[in-house]
C-alpha cells in the first residue's frame, strides 16, 4: 500500500509542478548522519518537520543492516507525525499536509528549521504554545555509541494563563524491507494490536525479524533516568492506517491485525502518549524518547540465545535495569525441561523476576522471552561486570551467553562561577553572575539545575529565575548561564554569592564567590551651559555631585577669573534647599565658598549642588576652578572671543 501511495505522490508532484516552480529553491530534506544512523527531516512547505530515521552502517558487526529504514520516510518523510493536544484541541506539529497522515488535525505555523552538525531543530507555534522539536544523535545506553536518535519536544506556554498540554509521537516503524517484525517488549513478542499503560510501559522495546540471523535490530528507549528519559504514560502498537487517521484518540481493538483492511501486508506503527498536564504561564515541559539501533548479543546454537541490557550504569543510579533474554529453538525437535538461569554480579539486587526460570517445553521454531529487573546497591564497586544467561534442556545442547555492564562512578561536571571583583554604587545597580558548566563525560548529562543563592540586599528582577534548567548538555559540551542581579544594599563589605548544580546522577556541585561593595568617594565636578563665548554673553556653571557615600562637613570653593567674568547671581539646587544648607554659601570677589556640606544617606548621583550665573567681560582665557582646600577637583578653561569691530570706528 505504501508503494501505491508513493506512486500517487509522484503523480501529484508532477501535476503540481507549476506550483512547485513558484516556490523558492530549498532542499526537500535536511539530514545529518554519523557512522551508525541517519536522521532525515522534511523541509518542504507541506509536511515540514516530519522525520525519518535510517541506518548508515548500523551495527558494525553486520552488513545486512546497512542503509536500511528504521522509520518509513523515503524520499521525503510524511507518514510519521507528532500531535500536540492543547486544552482538548489536537494540532499536528509542523507544516500542513495534503496526505492521509494527520490530515484532519489542526496546524500551526513553522517558525524556523535549522540543521547543525549533530542536530536538526524545528520550532513551531501551536496557538500560544511554542514547540521546539530537536532530533540529534545520542549515546545509546545499550551500546555506548551514538547509534540512536534523541527525539525531544520542548513545550513552552507563551500564554498568560495555564494551559493543559499533552503530546503524542506516532512513528511508522519499518525494518529494512520488513514492515511486520514483532515488537518485543519484556516477555511478549507482540504481533497484533496492543497497548501498554502506566507501570506496564517498560524501559525499552526492541524489534527484529529472526533471532538466529537478524537483518536489522531496532530499539526504542522509553525510560533511562540516567540520561533524562522518562517513560510515556502509554505506548500503543497499532496498524499505521488507524494511527494515521486519528491524531490522538483511536478505536482500540486488542488483537486486531497489523494488516490494514483490504490489504495483505502488515503495516506496523506505534504511538507514545504523554497525557496532558497543566502548564503554568511562562513554563516549559520537556518530553523525550530514543529510537535507533538495538544492542543485542547473540549466541547461535540449537537453542539460539540473545541477551540485551544497558551497557553501563552509575553507582549512584538506583533505577531498575531491565535484562531481557531471547531464546529460539532451531534444534529440529522440541526442547524439554528447558530452564534459563541468570547470573548477576555482586552488589546487584533482583527487583523483579527470578534468576532461575523454568520454561518446560519449547517447540521447534518457537521463541521465548524472559526478563529480570536488577539494580546496583550501595555495595557495588566500579568496574566492568558481567551478566550471564544460560539455558539447559533434556533434549538439546546447553548454551550460554554473557553481556558486559560497566559500573561507572558518578558522572563528573566542572563549573566556574564568575562575578565582578568589586562594585561601587552608581546609577546602574545591576551586575551579571556568570556560570559556565562543562560536561567532561562520555555521556550526555540531562535535567541538571543550577540554583542561585544571593545574600541579603541582592535580588533578581522579575524577569529572572533563581533556578535555571540545563535540559541536555552533550558529552564534551559547555553552556553559560547568566543572571542579572540588582544591588539594593550598598553598605560596604563582602557579599557571598552561591550556585548549586544538581542532577539525578551527579553529586551536587557547589560554587561560591565574593563580591566586594566598596565605598565610593564623593566626586564634585563642573558643567558649563555653553562652550563658545563672546563678550557680554551670559552662561552658567553648575557644581555637580557625581556620586556620594555619606559625608559631612565638607567644604568646596568655586574660584573664577573676576577680570573676565562677572558673577551675576547664584541659585541653590533642590537638594540644598531640602537639606537646609543654603545659608552655608558665601560670596567673595572671585569665589563662591560652600562650607560644611553634609549628606547622610549617600543616595545622591549626578545631582546639582548650586548654579552660578556669569556674564563675560572681556576677551581672553577665563579659568574656573573647583577646589577642596588647596586640592583641585575640576577645572573649566573658558575661551571668550571679542566682538569684531568695523574699520573706521
The CATH number given to whatever domain includes residue 633 is: 2.60.40.680
Question: Is residue 25 domain-resident?
Answer: no
Pairing of strands 106-107, 89-92: parallel
Same domain, 512 and 457: yes
My answer on whether 142 and 283 are in the same domain is: yes
Q: Are residues 404 and 511 in the same domain?
A: no
Q: How far is CA 371 from CA 237, 313, 322, in A?
A: 21, 18, 7
Given 261, 293, 325, the domain boundary residue is 293
Query: Residue 579's domain spans which residues?
Result: 524-641
Give yes or no for a contact between 268 and 150, defined as CB atoms under 8 angstroms apart. Answer: no
Model-level pTM? 0.71
- Of the residues 465, 500, 518, the one at which a domain ends: 518
142 plus 282 within the same structural domain: yes
Say how many domains are in the chain.
Answer: 4
Q: Does 338 map to a domain?
A: yes
Evaluate whether residue 11 is within a structural domain: no
Residue 570 in any domain: the answer is yes
Question: Is 206 strand, coil or helix?
Answer: strand
Compute the distance between CA of residue 232 and CA of residue 271 in angstroms, rounded to an integer: 10
Same domain, 146 and 244: yes
Residues 324 and 358 in one domain: yes
Residue listed under C-alpha cell 545659608 = 583
Same domain, 243 and 335: no
427 and 392: one domain? no
Q: How far apart are CA 189 and CA 328, in angstroms?
A: 12
**CA–CA separation, 182 vs 167, rounded Å?**
25
- List CB contacts of 499: < 8 A, sequence separation 6 or more: 415, 417, 433, 435, 450, 451, 452, 453, 510, 511, 512
- Confirm whether 494 is domain-assigned: yes
In this structure, what C-alpha cell is assigned to residue 477? Answer: 559540551
CB atoms within 10 A of CB 280: 10
> Can you spell out the DSSP letters for 443-472?
S-EEEEEEEEE--TTEE--TT--SEEEEEE
The count of other CB atoms within 10 Å of the CB of residue 33 is 15
The answer to whether position 65 is within a domain reads no
Residues 452 and 494 in one domain: yes
**Domain assignment of residue 630, yes or no:** yes
Q: Does residue 186 sit within a domain?
A: yes
Picking from 258, 293, 328, the residue at the C-terminal end of a domain is: 293
CA distance linking residue 172 with residue 69, whole number of Å: 10
> Three-state SS for 336?
strand
- The residues, ordered by sequence, that sit 6+ positions from 557 with a Cβ below 8 Å of its Cβ are 591, 592, 593, 594, 626, 627, 628
Residue 315's CATH number: 2.60.40.10
pLDDT-flagged residues of the chain (< 70): 1-24, 176-178, 261-262, 426-428, 520, 547-549, 602-605, 644-649
- CA 525 to each of CA 538, 572, 594, 631, 636: distance values in angstroms, whole numbers, following the listed order: 20, 16, 14, 13, 10
128 plus 268 within the same structural domain: yes
Rounded Cα gap, residues 79 and 4, in angstroms: 13
Amino acid at each position: 500500500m505504501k508503494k501505491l501511495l508513493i506512486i500517487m505522490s509522484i503523480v501529484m508532484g508532477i501535476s503540481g509542478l507549476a506550483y512547485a516552480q513558484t516556490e523558492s529553491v530549498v532542499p526537500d530534506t535536511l539530514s545529518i548522519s554519523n557512522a551508525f544512523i541517519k536522521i532525515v527531516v522534511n523541509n518542504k512547505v507541506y509536511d515540514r518537520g516530519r522525520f525519518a530515521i535510517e541506518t548508515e552502517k548500523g551495527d558494525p558487526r553486520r552488513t545486512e543492516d546497512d542503509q536500511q529504514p528504521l522509520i518509513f520516510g523515503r524520499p521525503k518523510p510524511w507518514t510519521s507525525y507528532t500531535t500536540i493536544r492543547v486544552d482538548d484541541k489536537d494540532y499536528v506539529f509542523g507544516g500542513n499536509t495534503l496526505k492521509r497522515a494527520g490530515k484532519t488535525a489542526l496546524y500551526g505555523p513553522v517558525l524556523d528549521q535549522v540543521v547543525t552538525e549533530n542536530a536538526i531543530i524545528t520550532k513551531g507555534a501551536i496557538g500560544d504554545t511554542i514547540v521546539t522539536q530537536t532530533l540529534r544523535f545520542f549515546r545509546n545506553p545499550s551500546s555506548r555509541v551514538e547509534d540512536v536518535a534523541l527525539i525531544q519536544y520542548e513545550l513552552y506556554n507563551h500564554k498568560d494563563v495555564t494551559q493543559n498540554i499533552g503530546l503524542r509521537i506516532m512513528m511508522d516503524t519499518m525494518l529494512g524491507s520488513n514492515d511486520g517484525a514483532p515488537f518485543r517488549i519484556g516477555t511478549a513478542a507482540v504481533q497484533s494490536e496492543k497497548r501498554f499503560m502506566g507501570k506496564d510501559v517498560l524501559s525499552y522495546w526492541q524489534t527484529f525479524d529472526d533471532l538466529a540471523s537478524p537483518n536489522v535490530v531496532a530499539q526504542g528507549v522509553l525510560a533511562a533516568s540516567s540520561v533524562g528519559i522518562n517513560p510515556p504514560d502509554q505506548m500503543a502498537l497499532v496498524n499505521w492506517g488507524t494511527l494515521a487517521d486519528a491524531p490522538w484518540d483511536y478505536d482500540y481493538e486488542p488483537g486486531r491485525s497489523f494488516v490494514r483492511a483490504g490489504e495483505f501486508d502488515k503495516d506496523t506503527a506505534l504511538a507514545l502518549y504523554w497525557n496532558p498536564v497543566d502548564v503554568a504561564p511562562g513554563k516549559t515541559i520537556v518530553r523525550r524518547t530514543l529510537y535507533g539501533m538495538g544492542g543485542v548479543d547473540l549466541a547461535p546454537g540449537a537453542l539460539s540465545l540473545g541477551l540485551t541490557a544497558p551497557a553501563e550504569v552509575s553507582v549512584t543510579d538506583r533505577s531498575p535495569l531491565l535484562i531481557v533474554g531471547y531464546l529460539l529453538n532451531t534444534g529440529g525437535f522440541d526442547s524439554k525441561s528447558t530452564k534459563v538461569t541468570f547470573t548477576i554480579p555482586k552488589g546487584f539486587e533482583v527487583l523483579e523476576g527470578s534468576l532461575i526460570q523454568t520454561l518446560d517445553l519449547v517447540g521447534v521454531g518457537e521463541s521465548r522471552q524472559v526478563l529480570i529487573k536488577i539494580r546496583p546497591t550501595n555495595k557495588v564497586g566500579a568496574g566492568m561486570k558481567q551478566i550471564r544467561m544460560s539455558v539447559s534442556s533434556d533434549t538439546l545442547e546447553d548454551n550460554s551467553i554473557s553481556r558486559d555492564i560497566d559500573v561507572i562512578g558518578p558522572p563528573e561536571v566542572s563549573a566556574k562561577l564568575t562575578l565582578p571583583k568589586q562594585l561601587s554604587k552608581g546609577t546602574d545597580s545591576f551586575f551579571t553572575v556568570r556560570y559556565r558548566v562543562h560536561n567532561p563525560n562520555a555521556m550526555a548529562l540531562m535535567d541538571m539545575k543550577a540554583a542561585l543563592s544571593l545574600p541579603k540586599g541582592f535580588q533578581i528582577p522579575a524577569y529572572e529565575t533563581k533556578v535555571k534548567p540545563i535540559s541536555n548538555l552533550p558529552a564534551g559540551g559547555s553552556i553559560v548561564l547568566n543572571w542579572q542581579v540588582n544591588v539594593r544594599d550598598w553598605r560596604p563589605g563582602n557579599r557571598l554569592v552561591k550556585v548549586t548544580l544538581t542532577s539525578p546522577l551527579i553529586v551536587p556541585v557547589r560554587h561560591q564567590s565574593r563580591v566586594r561593595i566598596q565605598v565610593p568617594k564623593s566626586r564634585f565636578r563642573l558643567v558649563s551651559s555653553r562652550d563658545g563665548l563672546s563678550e557680554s554673553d551670559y552662561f552658567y556653571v553648575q557644581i555637580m555631585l557625581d556620586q556620594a557615600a555619606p559625608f559631612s562637613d565638607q567644604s568646596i570653593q568655586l574660584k573664577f577669573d573676576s577680570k573676565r567674568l562677572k558673577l551675576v547671581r547664584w541659585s541653590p539646587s533642590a537638594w540644598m534647599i531640602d537639606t537646609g544648607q543654603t545659608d552655608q554659601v558665601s560670596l567673595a570677589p572671585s569665589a563662591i565658598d560652600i562650607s560644611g556640606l553634609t549628606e547622610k544617606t549617600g543616595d545622591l548621583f549626578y545631582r546639582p549642588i548650586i548654579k552660578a550665573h556669569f556674564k563675560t567681560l572681556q576677551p581672553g582665557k577665563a579659568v574656573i576652578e573647583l577646589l577642596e582646600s588647596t586640592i583641585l577637583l575640576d577645572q573649566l578653561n573658558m575661551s571668550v572671543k571679542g566682538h569684531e569691530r568695523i574699520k573706521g570706528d
